[in-house]
Amino acid sequence: MSKNILICLKKLDIGGIETSVVNQATEMLERGYGVVILSKRGIYTEKMVSKGAICIDFDYELTDGYDLKRAEIIEKIINEYNISQIHIHQFDCITSCFPAALNTNTPYVAFVHTGIMGTYDWFEDHFISYKTIYNLYFNMACKIVAITENAKNENKSKYNVDESKYIIVNNSINFEKKLIENNNIPEKIENFLIVSRLASEKVESIKNAINVFKMYYKTHSKSHLTIVGEGEKKEEILNEMNDIKDSISFLGARDDVIDIMLKNDVVIALDRCILEAVASKRIAVISGYENLRGIVTSENIAKAASDNFSGNNLKEVTIDNIVNELSQLTKDDIKNIVHSNYEFAFNKLNSKKNIYVNEDCLGNLNIDKKIFFENEQTLIEKIKKCEEQKEKIYSNSKEAQEYFMGQIKNRENEINALKHEIDDLKHGLDELKLLNKNYEQKINVEYSDYYEIKEKLDKITNSKIWKFFYN
């Protein structure tokens, strides 16, 4: 029987899921499986080809409903390479890989990497068909691999999948020769490294890491920060470091992250990058998605690993606390921390022990296609109904828009007319004010003449002559 595995993910590029897939695929090759990776070419493509994987450049697209055009291409690949099992790693792949698996009767494993609550809701809110598709997809998988218990529980409660379908496979790492033989333990805390996709959902995490370095740098002027990563938020991140630009190096996307880690003392990151830092015997600080979660030590590594080093299950820690702890670490402290962390990862998170292929599910999917196509027809009818409702809503909203635009136009005309009337009244008021001023001036003149005449009359009436003749 064929043991060829088709691995489906969006792109073989920098990222936690991508690096995890590279490790899994490497271990599969070492165990004798044939590996075909269906993804867009990326930074890890050549590396996987050199290890013996077949990498097919493929561009997935999020579509509302099944992407049957791409599914047809995938079906040909499944048949050409005699694929016996499909591993589907990301949401972008489902609408094309799922129907291809069903049409070729090929068993598939659904991987649940996300630990961010609400991810399913976002897809279902933006794509009408996904609620039905996801329900079918997860329930018809031969196995669902979740990286954490929380990821499993969210999936199970949302899609009511049987408990027996789940398996927890923690994010693991390939302890290659250079990691096993590495005795280059940091002796002091001086060189910092941030590894991350420079994407919207990681911005706060990256800023947390930068702020830790900035505070440490204030009292350790020889410190240096290196950043590895690419993404749409690159400029925003670089602007965050304008005040320390002489003490940073920006390397962009790299496929030699482990080698870079081995040249640094502290790695501040999230998720899989923390695991890589631990395996590289570096001091690892979990930056958290929103707030810092602290240094990984023997006291918290098991708990941190259970949630994929996201830090979501750890207490928040302040920048002051982390900087103080880093500043107080002695050479022996560093050695003890990195060695105990390394031992935990080597024994518990080694890809030699955590690779997953469902040996009981190689070959035929053995499903009742009638059930699937009945559900598919229901889905199509739902989509059509939603489309009709959408058109009706659009038509009504357009009429409402035209009505309100007309009302707005009428109100604008009324306002303009009132403005003209107010301008006329203002003009009339100005004329009245001028006329009033003129009248006041005339009255003042009249009063002046009156008092002058009165004064003369008073003089006459008070004269001796007047009194002689009239008294």
Secondary structure (3-state) at 296: coil
Domain end among 367, 394, 412: 367
Based on the domain organization, do 11 and 156 belong to the same domain?
yes
Can you name the residues that pair with 7 across neighbouring β-strands? 37, 87
Is residue 13 a contact partner of residue 42, using CB atoms and an 8 Å limit?
Answer: yes
Secondary structure (3-state) at 91: helix
The CATH number for 59's domain is: 3.40.50.2000
How far apart CA 380 and CA 375 sit, in angstroms, is: 9
Residue 312 lies in a domain: yes
How far apart CA 337 and CA 342 sit, in angstroms, is: 9
pLDDT at 210 over 70: yes
Based on the domain organization, do 198 and 163 belong to the same domain?
no
Is residue 291 a contact partner of residue 321, using CB atoms and an 8 Å limit?
Answer: no
pLDDT at 13 over 90: no
Residue 185 lies in a domain: yes
* Closest C-alpha to 228, from 212, 215, 202: 202
Query: What's the farthest any 2 CA atoms get from each other in the chain?
Result: 155
Domain interval for residue 213: 177-349
- Whole-Å CA distances, 451 to 20, 188, 315, 441: 108, 103, 94, 16
Based on the domain organization, do 162 and 196 belong to the same domain?
no
Based on the domain organization, do 292 and 342 belong to the same domain?
yes
| Cα four-point dihedral sign 123, 124, 125, 128 | positive
Based on the domain organization, do 183 and 293 belong to the same domain?
yes
Residue 422 lies in a domain: no
Instruction: Give the tens place of pLDDT for each residue, 19-64.
Output: 889 989 998 998 899 999 999 999 899 999 999 999 999 999 988 8
Domain end among 349, 381, 404: 349
Is residue 361 a contact partner of residue 144, using CB atoms and an 8 Å limit?
Answer: no
How far apart CA 404 and CA 395 sit, in angstroms, is: 14
Based on the domain organization, do 197 and 214 belong to the same domain?
yes
367 pLDDT band, cuts 50/70/90, is: low
Based on the domain organization, do 224 and 136 belong to the same domain?
no
pLDDT at residue 163 in the model: 92
Quick one: tokens of 443?
């009255």
Q: Where is pLDDT greater, at 470 or 448?
A: 448
pLDDT at 370 over 70: no
* DSSP E strands, 202-320: 224-228, 248-252, 266-269, 283-286, 294-295
pLDDT at residue 284 in the model: 97
Type and span of the H or E element at 353:
helix 351-354
pLDDT at residue 302 in the model: 93
Residue 397 lies in a domain: no
Distance of CA 354 to the CA centre of its chain: 27
Q: How do 83-88 and 4-11 pair as beta strands?
A: parallel
Averaged confidence pLDDT in the chain: 87
* Closest C-alpha to 178, from 258, 278, 254: 258
Instruction: Give the tens place of pLDDT for each residue, 383-408.
Output: 667 667 777 777 777 777 777 788 88
How far apart CA 152 and CA 263 sit, in angstroms, is: 36
> Distance from first CA to last CA of the chain, Å, rounded?
153
Quick one: tokens of 147?
């990286």
Amino acid at site 145: V
Residue 398 lies in a domain: no
Stretch 334-340: mean pLDDT, rounded? 95
Instruction: Give the tens place of pLDDT for each residue, 92-126.
Output: 999 999 999 999 999 999 999 876 666 888 888 88
What phi and psi values does residue 295 have, to the nearest 5 degrees? -80, 140
1 pLDDT band, cuts 50/70/90, is: low
Secondary structure (3-state) at 108: strand
Residue 212 lies in a domain: yes
Quick one: tokens of 24?
């899994």
pLDDT at residue 377 in the model: 57
How far apart CA 52 and CA 31 sit, in angstroms, is: 12
pLDDT at 217 over 70: yes
* Closest C-alpha to 346, from 429, 402, 284, 280: 280
Residue 466 lies in a domain: no
Based on the domain organization, do 102 and 209 belong to the same domain?
no
Is residue 325 a contact partner of residue 295, using CB atoms and an 8 Å limit?
Answer: yes
Based on the domain organization, do 332 and 360 belong to the same domain?
no
* Closest C-alpha to 42, from 29, 68, 24, 60: 60
Based on the domain organization, do 94 and 165 belong to the same domain?
yes
What phi and psi values does residue 111 have, to the nearest 5 degrees? -95, 135
Is residue 8 a contact partner of residue 93, using CB atoms and an 8 Å limit?
Answer: yes
Q: Where is pLDDT greater, at 352 or 375?
A: 352
User: ∠ CA 89-95-100 to the nearest 5 degrees?
Assistant: 90
Is residue 37 a contact partner of residue 12, using CB atoms and an 8 Å limit?
Answer: yes
Q: How many residues would you count in the chain?
A: 471
How far apart CA 80 and CA 102 sit, in angstroms, is: 16
Instruction: Give the tens place of pLDDT for each residue, 144-203.
Output: 999 888 889 999 999 999 999 999 888 888 887 777 777 889 999 999 999 998 988 889
Domain end among 304, 323, 349: 349
How far apart CA 116 and CA 279 sit, in angstroms, is: 24
Number of domains in the chain: 2
Can you name the residues that pair with 173 across neighbouring β-strands? 350
Which residues, in sequence order, are CB contacts of 222 under 8 Å at separation 6+? 190
Based on the domain organization, do 296 and 360 belong to the same domain?
no
Type and span of the H or E element at 35:
strand 34-40
* Closest C-alpha to 234, from 263, 192, 202: 202
Residue 413 lies in a domain: no
Instruction: Give the tens place of pLDDT for each residue, 265-320.
Output: 999 999 889 999 999 999 999 999 889 999 999 999 999 998 889 998 999 999 99
* Closest C-alpha to 340, from 380, 401, 387, 295: 295
Based on the domain organization, do 97 and 201 belong to the same domain?
no
